Chains A and B, each alone.
Chain A
Amino acid sequence: MPRKDINGNDFAHHSDFPVNPQVRNIEFAAGKAFFGKREFPNCFLTDITIPQVDHFMQHPADYELQDCHYLDERCDYLTVQTNGRTFDNVIFCNPIMIGFRGKFETKYFLEKVHDLLADNGTVIVLGSSTNVWSKFSNLQRYYGKLKEENDLDYDFEFELQVVDANHPYRQNHTFYRSNLSDTAVPNQLIHIKKA
Chain B
Amino acid sequence: MENIASVSNALDNFELSTDYRVKNYVKNFNSHVDFLIETTSEINKASIAKDKKFTFTDAIYWQCEASILENLDDVTDSEVLGKLDDLEDKLYSKLISSLGKFYRNGDRSWIDKMLDMTIQNTLLGLKFEYFSASNRYRNPWTEATDILLDNRLIYTFSDDVDHLKDLGLKISDKDSNEIARKLVGVAGKGNKKDFATGYFRDLTALRNMLYNFLESIADNSAKAIKKELIVKEIRDMGVKPEQLTDNNIQSWLIDPLKQTNRIGSNKDGYFVINTGSDLIASYNSHFENFKGFYRTLERHKRLAEKFDVPIEKLDRHHKFVGDQNLNAEDPEDSLF
CB of A6 within 8 Å of the partner chain? no
Residues of A within 8 A of B116 (CB): 101-105
Query: If A49-B59, A131-B70 touch, does A181 touch B48 (CB 8 Å cutoff)?
Result: yes
Contacts of B44 in A (CB 8 A): 180-182
Chain A contact residue count (CB 8 A cutoff): 25
Partner pick for B117 among A96, A102, A130, A141, CB 8 A cutoff:
A102
Are B48 and A104 in contact, with the CB atoms below 8 A? no
Q: Which of B202-228 contact A (CB under 8 A)?
A: none
Say whether B70 contacts A181, CB under 8 Å: no
Residue A1 interfacial (CB < 8 Å): no
Bound together, the chains give a CA A103 to CA B118 distance in angstroms of: 12
With contact pairs A49-B59, A104-B115, A178-B59 given, residues A94 and B66 touching in the complex (Cβ less than 8 Å) = yes
- In the complex, are the beta carbons of A96 and B92 less than 8 A apart? no
Interface size class of B (residues with CB under 8 A): 20 to 34
Q: B70-104, CB under 8 A of A: which get 1 and which 0?
A: 11010000000000010000001000000000000
A96/B85 in contact, CB under 8 A: no
Given A132-B69, A182-B44, 15 further pairs, Cβ under 8 A:
A94-B66, A96-B62, A102-B116, A103-B116, A107-B112, A130-B70, A131-B66, A177-B66, A178-B63, A179-B59, A179-B60, A180-B44, A180-B63, A181-B44, A181-B46
- Tell me, in angstroms, the Cα distance from A104 to B99 when the chains sit together: 16
Cβ–Cβ contact B64 & A180, under 8 A: yes
Interface of A is mostly: loop
Judge if B65 is at the interface, Cβ distance under 8 Å.
yes
Chain B residue at minimal CB-CB distance from A186: B70
B194 at the interface (CB under 8 A from A): no
**Residues 40-52 of chain B, each 1 if its beta carbon lies under 8 Å from chain A, else 0:** 1001101010000
Given A103-B92, A104-B112, verify A179-B63 contact (CB < 8 Å): yes
Chain A 116-150 interface 0/1 with B at a Cβ cutoff of 8 Å (1 = within) = 00000000000010111100000001000000000
Question: With the chains together, A185 CA to B73 CA distance in Å?
Answer: 13
Question: Which of chain A's residues have a CB closer than 8 A to the CB of B250?
Answer: none
Write the chain B residue with the least CB distance to A94: B66
A108 interface residue, CB < 8 Å from B? yes
What are 17 of the A-B contact pairs (CB < 8 Å)? A94-B66, A96-B63, A97-B59, A102-B116, A102-B119, A102-B120, A108-B109, A108-B112, A128-B69, A141-B85, A177-B66, A178-B63, A179-B60, A180-B67, A181-B44, A181-B46, A182-B67
